[in-house]
Amino acid sequence: MAVSEAREPDPGAAPAALGYRLARATLLDLRAIYRLEQVIFPYDAYTYLDLLLLFLWPGTRNLKIVAPDGSLAGFVSAGPGLARRRGWIITLGVAPEHQRRGLGRWLLASAEQRLARPEIRLTVRISNAPAIALYHQMGYSVVERKPGYYRNGETGLVMERRIRPTGETR
Ligand SMILES: CC(C)(COP(=O)(O)OP(=O)(O)OC[C@H]1O[C@@H](n2cnc3c(N)ncnc32)[C@H](O)[C@@H]1OP(=O)(O)O)[C@@H](O)C(=O)NCCC(=O)NCCS
């Protein structure tokens, strides 16, 4: 049918076929998310307090992917920005043993959908080639460079995706 042909491919189809499941993350997941952050962000993992705020802050969307064995495979948190048109991806991560299976793409697309804002932004380390490749693939481009943004002095890249009401990017 013409309608389904016009839609973007479902980013969850392939991981779901492997047994992964997307769900809303809750405070019950806090410990597992904290552990995941420790592994994937060795220099600036969020503290328990940071993570707690993600769950308490109004409008924040927190999603997880559960692996077939029930463990936490990935997490994304996204929230509205001060500008009403804009949403931000606050943190995104996939456990190393589950990477390169489309989970990052699935989490990002799902967070964007739930934010329902025409502009989505995020900040990424300039050295983080895997994440930058993911964001480019998802239609993001660099809109700002922030020298010294990270604690170790590394430059942050602000990347943005503009989403038309139909879901297309420009
Ligand atoms: C970035 C991250 C979330 C990607 O998650 P993932 O589940 O492995 O990504 P996906 O399998 O959905 O990959 C989607 C696309 O991203 C790109 N990509 C992902 N990992 C990549 C890598 N290691 N090298 C090159 N490109 C990569 C590819 O274009 C890939 O598409 P393809 O597999 O069809 O080639 C994951 O590597 C991660 O958690 N890293 C540590 C935490 C982090 O850096 N988070 C982002 C902070 S801004």
Distance 134 CA to ligand 1 centre (A): 5
The predicted structure's pLDDT at residue 7: 58
Give the pocket of ligand 1 (CB within 6 Å).
40, 92-94, 99-105, 124, 128, 130-131, 133-134, 137
Q: What is the pLDDT of residue 63?
A: 98
Q: At what angle do helices 129-137 and 103-115 cross, to 10 degrees?
A: 60
What pLDDT score does 168 carry?
52
Q: Which domains does the chain have, with CATH numbers?
A: 2-162 (3.40.630.30)
Among 125, 134, 128, which Cα is nearest to 158's? Answer: 125
Average confidence score pLDDT of the chain:
92
pTM attached to this predicted model: 0.94
Q: At 17, which helix (H) or strand (E)?
A: helix 13-17
Q: CA–CA separation, 129 vs 25, rounded Å?
A: 27
24's tokens: 């809303």
Residue 81: predicted pLDDT = 85
Token match 């973007």: residue? 8
Q: How far is the CA of 152 from the centre of ligand 1 (A)?
A: 22
Ligand 1 midpoint to CA 92 (Å): 10
CA of 131 to the centre of ligand 1 (A): 5
pLDDT per position in the chain (170 positions), as tens? 334 444 568 999 999 999 999 999 999 999 999 999 999 998 899 999 999 999 999 999 999 999 999 999 999 999 998 888 999 999 999 999 999 999 999 999 999 999 999 999 999 999 999 999 999 999 999 999 999 999 999 999 999 999 876 545 54
d(CA 29, CA 72): 8
Pocket test for ligand 1, best of 123, 126, 134, 157 (most atoms within 8 A of CB): 134
